[in-house]
Amino acid sequence: MRLINFVLVLAILVSGCTSGSSGNSTPTAEDAKKFMDDVNDTLFKLGLEASQAGWVSETYITDDTSALFARANQRLIDKTAQYAKEAVRFDKVDVAPDIRRQLNILKVSLVMATPSNPKEGEELTKIAADLDATYGKGKWCEDPKKSESCLDINQISDILRDSQDEKKLRQVWEGWHTISLPMRKEYTRFVELSNKGAKELGFADSGAMWRSKYDMSPEDFTKELDRLWTQVRPLYLKLHAYVRMKLREKYGDVVPANGPLPAHLLGNIWAQDWSNVYPLVKPANADKGYDLTSILKARKTSPVDMVKTGERFYTSIGFPSLPKTFWDRSMLVKPRDREVVCHASAWDVDNVEDLRIKMCIQPNDEDFNTIHHELGHNFYQRAYKDLPVIFRDSANDGFHEAIGDTIALSVTPEYLVKIGLLDKAPDTSRDIGLLLHKALEKIAFLPFGLLIDQWRWKVFSGEVKPEDYNKAWWDLRLKYQGVAPVSPRGEDFFDPGAKYHVPGNVPYTRYFLADILQFQFHRALAQTAGCTSALNRCSIYQSGEAGKKLNDMLSMGLSKPWPEALDKIAGSKQMDATAILDYFKPLDAWLDEQIKGKPVGW
């Protein structure tokens, strides 16, 4: 579920300080334009090389392809870093608004800034690579002497999904959290050095640098997140209380009657998506009544057919078909003869039309959804292809993740009937089952989507000291998620490192934003499509009008502040979680009944 855009999305490194003055004469607006033309040109060329090498390295993993990719990537990173420093020259020049925005984006496009001291810069780059590799190679071995007892993240995830043996779940959960032990010392140093680099660029710390990408002050952005969370928190509390009650029926006293949920019993190693516990919590008489996985399997639907079905959704609302090269160059199934990275991703290799997805598709419900998600990235990428290269990105990083999920919200039972995958849509008495399943995925995720960066921002700002890393992590998980470990997690552990995005240094707030935005988009587009039924039964399939509205927004790329892009679809410049509340309204009322007289909160 990644987006690959090698021009801007990378963890770009700045290897020098910005304060150096060139000593030349004062630059002009004309110079600024020339500079940006050069930036756009060069990043386009280097981005293409890095993408091509990146594609090969992920679909044909060998030492050579990795080296080729690392080299191409380093060239792109070095050049971007150089440009970001040079952009400061035009700070006081009166330039056209369009050029000013390009210069600003260039300066905040960095995820990690290395200090100007070359030794420190090199040290930080190495630590970043080490942390990433430690996670990537992470395995837990029940018996370290027997390599066959070692489990990687996929095998651990399978157990968390399938097992209902409390002891086994606990053992595996604790096992996975040993992979991050070696990271603690390096992460502490990583924070010091990356802050130093961010300060040299004029930011208070790395967290402030991340928060500066949202067309508002870092302080206002933080308040904005609080506001959105306050809107959805009551619904989360009810879902939490209900799931706790049902898990207590299943697992007994290990689940407290009125305390936090045990971290290992939610069907997911980070308790970020609870849909795997649906069988334990499903409503008695309102199960959704069909299973897309069985349907796809029974029909022997091929991966290509699944992707064609996804494409047909987008073309039904007016988007042009995917280019022939998409079908020639995408990787849709796991090759039998070589190692590949199966983790789903969407690519725009040449930043124009060379769209691809890379997946190891299986005929199941989850992959059917993921296909719609990845294609959302591809159609977004193509919609903004005519903009200057630096604008070829989403309005903010939450938007890119939200588009495909917005379309996936239109994959309703009625839609499945229309395309012939289902004979008859379940009647509305089944809505609670459908909504509960969706809530276990989307509502359960919200506090998790928020807390990762709450922790990181405090760590970067120094509010949380290294000696409290783990305590602060679990304090936040308790505060936001109401989730706690069953065994003490002292400072000898480093539990944040057991989640990829921390050692991988990938900002996480985008996923929280995407979770909010997709419902806001869905509600607005469903209205445009003239849907009058309950929101969870609305599909914008075949609505040219909804498609036009969507395309108007996508084609703006990053050229305008995100509130203007949001306004194009939602008719409002403010993010708004009330669409979530509208969507889940029937479930909210049902949850009230289920938890009547039961404790809520922790």
Q: At closest approach, how far in Å is the CB of 515 from Zn ion?
A: 12
Smallest separation, CB 505 to Zn ion (Å): 17
Cα separation, 114 vs 277, whole angstroms: 43
Q: Note the helical H segments in 140-291.
A: 153-162, 166-176, 183-200, 206-211, 218-251, 278-281
Amino acid at 494: F
- The residues in 362-401 that bind Zn ion, with binding defined as CB under 5 A, are 401
Closer residue to Zn ion in complex, CB, 1/333: 1
d(CA 349, CA 50): 9
Tell me whether residue 1 or residue 9 sits nearer to Zn ion (CB atom). Answer: 1
What is the Cα–Cα distance from 431 to 537, expressed in whole angstroms? 9
> Judged by CB under 5 A, how many residues of this single chain contact Zn ion?
2
List Cβ neighbours of 309 (8 Å cut-off, separation of 6 or more). 368, 371, 419, 421
Which residue number, 140 or 347, has a Cβ lying nearer to Zn ion?
Answer: 347
Q: Please tell me whether residue 344 binds Zn ion under the rule CB under 5 A.
A: no
Q: Does 11 bind Zn ion (CB under 5 A)?
A: no
Cα–Cα distance, 478 to 487 (Å, whole number): 14
**Least separation, in Å, of the C-beta of 389 and Zn ion?**
21
Q: How far is the CB of 277 from Zn ion (least distance, A)?
A: 24
Q: Is the Cβ–Cβ distance between 15 and 116 less than 8 Å?
A: yes
Between CA 208 and CA 283 the distance in angstroms is: 44
CB of 9 to Zn ion, least distance (A): 11
Q: Which stretch binds Zn ion (CB under 5 A): 1-9, 162-170, 431-439, 501-509?
A: 1-9
Cβ 382 to Zn ion shortest distance, Å: 16
How far, in Å, CA of 3 to CA of 30, rounded?
Answer: 34
Catalytic residue set: 343-344, 373-374, 377, 401, 501, 511
Q: Quick one: the chain helix, strand, coil %, rounded to 5?
A: 60, 5, 35
Query: Looking at this protein, which amino acid is placed at residue 269?
Result: I
Q: How far is the CB of 211 from Zn ion (least distance, A)?
A: 21
Measured distance CA(175)–CA(253) in Å, rounded: 23
Minimum CB separation from Zn ion for residue 355, in Å?
A: 14
Contact track, Zn ion, 575-594, x by CB under 5 A: --------------------
Residue 68 or 506 with smaller CB distance to Zn ion: 506
Which residues lie across from 262 on neighbouring strands?
A: 484
Smallest distance from Zn ion to CB 588, Å: 28
- Residue 1 makes contact with Zn ion by CB under 5 A: yes
End-to-end CA distance of the chain: 33
DSSP, residue by residue, 3-58: EE-TTTSS-----S-S-----SPPP-HHHHHHHHHHHHHHHHHHHHHHHHHHHHHH
Cβ pair 505, 111 in contact under 8 A:
yes
Integer CA distances (angstroms), 173 to 13, 187, 246, in order? 34, 22, 21
Cα angle for residues 292, 297, 302 (degrees, 5° grid):
105
Pairing relationship of beta strands 355-358 and 345-348 according to DSSP bridges: antiparallel
- The residue among 263 and 403 lying less far from Zn ion, judged by its C-beta, is 403
Nearest to Zn ion of 102, 330 (CB atom): 330
Residue number, 1 or 352, with CB nearest to Zn ion: 1
H or E element in which residue 189 lies:
helix 183-200
Amino acid (one-letter) located at 237:
L
**Chain residues 432-491 in contact with Zn ion, contact rule CB under 5 A:** none
Site string for Zn ion, 396-435 (x = CB under 5 A): -----x----------------------------------
Q: Is the CB of 401 or the CB of 515 nearer to Zn ion?
A: 401
Residue nearest to Zn ion as judged by C-beta position: 1
CA distance 130 to 414: 48
Identify the CA nearest to 351 among candidates 390, 402, 399: 390
- Residue 482 Cα distances to 169, 193, 400, 475, 479, angstroms: 19, 33, 29, 10, 6
Q: Give the chain's largest Cα–Cα span.
A: 77
Alpha-carbon distance of 216 to 287, in angstroms, equals: 44
- By beta-carbon proximity to Zn ion, the closer residue of 489 and 510 is 510
Name the minimum Å distance from CB 232 to Zn ion. 21
Please identify, using beta-carbon distances, which residue of 18 and 330 lies nearer to Zn ion.
330
> Which spans of this chain sit near Zn ion (rule: CB under 5 A)?
1, 401
